[in-house]
């Protein structure tokens, strides 16, 4: 089972390192990216997991690449159909999911 808190924290640190030390914390809140415009869920595709713009690349694929140490630029080079906004949407999706999990646990 994935420890979502540690994954989101690692992703935040990777994003923070990539954007620079003077990046305000609100960057993690989507950096102006509405993830609903980028993330799709289709029952017959990748087992209904959240995918990026209907492609077969899941949010979890991108998050795992980032967590393993790949930079956003390396991901974009390996997957030319992705955009920087797609990667930010994955981070925003993960952050929103984490907030919902923490809120539900507090009930």
Confidence of residue 35 (pLDDT cuts 50, 70, 90): very high
| Lowest-pLDDT choice from 16-20, 34-38, 40-44, 89-93 | 16-20
pLDDT at position 28, please? Answer: 40
Q: φ and ψ at 88, to 5 degrees?
A: -65, -35
Query: How far is C-alpha 85 from the chain's CA centre?
Result: 10
23-27, 45-49, 94-98: least confidently modelled range: 23-27
Parse the chain into domains and list their residue ranges.
Answer: 4-106
Closest CA to 46 of 30, 35, 22, 62: 62
Residues 31, 88: contact at Cβ < 8 Å? yes
Question: 51 with 39: CB under 8 angstroms?
Answer: yes
CATH of domain 4-106: 1.10.10.10
Q: Over 50: is that where the pLDDT of 26 sits?
A: no
At residue 100, the pLDDT reads: 83
């Amino acid at each position: 089972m994935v420890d979502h808190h540690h994954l989101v924290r690692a992703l935040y640190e990777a994003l923070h390192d990539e954007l620079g030390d003077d990046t305000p914390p609100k960057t993690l809140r989507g950096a102006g990216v509405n993830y609903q415009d980028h993330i799709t869920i289709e029952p017959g595709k990748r087992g209904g997991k959240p995918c990026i713009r209907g492609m077969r690349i899941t949010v979890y694929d991108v998050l795992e690449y980032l967590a393993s140490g790949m930079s956003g630029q390396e991901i974009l080079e390996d997957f030319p159909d992705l955009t920087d906004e797609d990667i930010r949407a994955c981070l925003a999706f993960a952050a929103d999911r984490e907030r919902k999990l923490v809120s539900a646990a507090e009930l």
